[in-house]
Homo-oligomer: A and B are copies of this chain.
């Protein structure tokens, strides 16, 4: 069983992505040296991946604790009704809230999983009010306070950059 072979990405693209998703400040010249390509070629590939949506964006990651948001919380939300319009309303209100870093709609006992950062438990209390208690479609929610952020990133596992295809 070989590799998934992502749509239109070759070994060079994957090698470039592997580096950029850890550090996108690496100059194209250095990228070129590492993947055996000229800086110009690297540049063209990066631009194409950005335009085609393989690369979603380029970000600086900020330490929440250093900007007054020392508390991270995982919240599981269960809704009353799965009516589409109500689900959509919930999705929109969760996504729009600045304290919500991530929001997933999931199968299973919960319907949503949120990851939020707040400055204090009082702020979290306020958040539960505006997002959950004010939304009458929220049946209940479960709060999991993060004690240790062991790994936090968006890096994705990339397919094996299989060497040859003689």
Q: Which chain B positions have C-beta within 8 A of A6?
A: 66-68
Number of copies of chain A assembled together: 2
Which residue of the partner chain, among B60, B95, B107, contacts A151 with CB atoms under 8 Å?
B95
Q: Verify B56–A99 contact, CB threshold 8 A.
A: no
Q: Verify A69–B156 contact, CB threshold 8 A.
A: yes
Q: Verify B148–A104 contact, CB threshold 8 A.
A: yes
A36 within 8 Å of B (CB atoms): no
Q: Verify B151–A100 contact, CB threshold 8 A.
A: yes
Q: Verify B151–A108 contact, CB threshold 8 A.
A: no
Q: Verify B17–A60 contact, CB threshold 8 A.
A: yes
Q: Which chain B positions have C-beta within 8 A of A103?
A: 150-152
Given known pairs A66-B6, A67-B6, A98-B157, the reply for A104 and B61 (CB within 8 Å) is no
